[in-house]
Amino acid sequence: MKLFKYLPSKYLDLVLKEGVFLFRTLSYFQDYEDAQVRGDKNEGVLRYSGLDGLLVNNLTTGHSFKAPWIFKSKVDSEKIFIFSLSKKLCSDLAREFGADACIEFEKPALVISKLITAVHIRKSIKPNRLFHGEVKYYTEQEGPNIDWALPSTIAMRKLACFSRQEEYRFVFSHDNFLKIGKTNQEVEIPSSKREVEIPSSNSKPERENYPEVSLKIGNIKKYCQVHKFS
């Protein structure tokens, strides 16, 4: 397997010669302006609508009914950091991402090993583990099973409308926010344009700048090939 990173050519030396990998929070991509390309308001959110509505069980009356609601399980998007690549080389993706260059990692295992080491020595990263793998694309009709309680799994999920990107993702967190159970659940009621939280959670504060972490793994130029797009 080879991995590809699309980026403006002015950043090539930063990655190739210095080995700098810039990780941004999920909240950065939630708020990114070019929605449906790099931006995705559902980053860090697992959604489930059911096949023909969400099954709701009223434990008081014993009655059940289906409603056009959406169950959502969310991670703390300010505490989880990602770095995204693709499994395919494609000029269409370069155009979508606004990139005029692409780095092909010819020895991804070596790069991954170096990133794992870089994460392991960072005391601020808890747990000291780099999660990585192919992003799994899903539809809202798929049952969440136990995934709703697994932040590391939710961080590796995206809706099927992004499947063309064939993303491969690196993930880590601060303050142990990838620990099992570090999620909040709520029900979205589209018809009333409001959400019922289960339990209530604090909304994300507005900010101009988003947290970011740079991991530096040294010169990797000899393990890479550069592709340019006009």
Confidence of residue 209 (pLDDT cuts 50, 70, 90): confident
Q: How many residues does the chain have?
A: 230
Residues 6+ apart with CB under 8 A from 207: none
Give the pLDDT of residue 44: 94
Average pLDDT score, the chain: 89
Q: What is the mean pLDDT of residues 113-133?
A: 95
**Residue 17, pLDDT above cutoff 60:** yes
Mean pLDDT over residues 35-49, rounded?
79
Contact (CB, 8 A) for 86 and 6: yes
pLDDT of residue 180: 95
Q: How do the residues of the chain divide into helix, strand and coil, expressed in percent and rounded to 5? A: 20, 35, 45
Model confidence at 212, pLDDT cuts 50, 70, 90, reads: very high
Mean pLDDT of 146-167: 96
Could you tell me which residues are beta bridge partners of residue 24? 82, 212
CB atoms within 10 A of CB 95: 13
Q: Could you say which DSSP state residue 222 is in?
A: G
199 pLDDT more than 70: no
pLDDT of residue 207: 56
**Distance between CA atoms of residues 38 and 223, nearest Å:** 26
At position 175, the amino acid (one-letter code) is: D
Q: Tell me the pLDDT band of 159, cut-offs 50, 70 and 90.
A: very high
Cα separation of 4 and 167, whole Å? 9
Residue with tokens 């005391």: 123
Q: Is the predicted pLDDT of residue 194 greater than 60, yes or no?
A: no
Q: For residue 72, what are the β-bridge partners?
A: 47, 186
pTM of the model: 0.87
Domains of the chain by residue range: 3-57+65-228
> What's the Rg (C-alpha) of the chain?
19
Give dist(CA 29, CA 12) in Å, integer: 22
Q: Residue 152 pLDDT > 60, yes or no?
A: yes
Instruction: Kindly tell me if the per-residue pLDDT of 166 is higher than 80.
Output: yes
Among 51-65, 109-123, 148-162, the least confident range? 51-65
Is 23 within 8 Å of 170 (Cβ atoms)? yes
pLDDT digits (tens, 9 = 90+) for 53-95: 898 888 888 888 888 999 999 999 999 999 999 999 999 999 9
DSSP assignment of 36-90 equals TTTB-TTTTEEEE--SSSEEEE-TTT--EEEES-EEEEE--TTTEEEEEEESS--
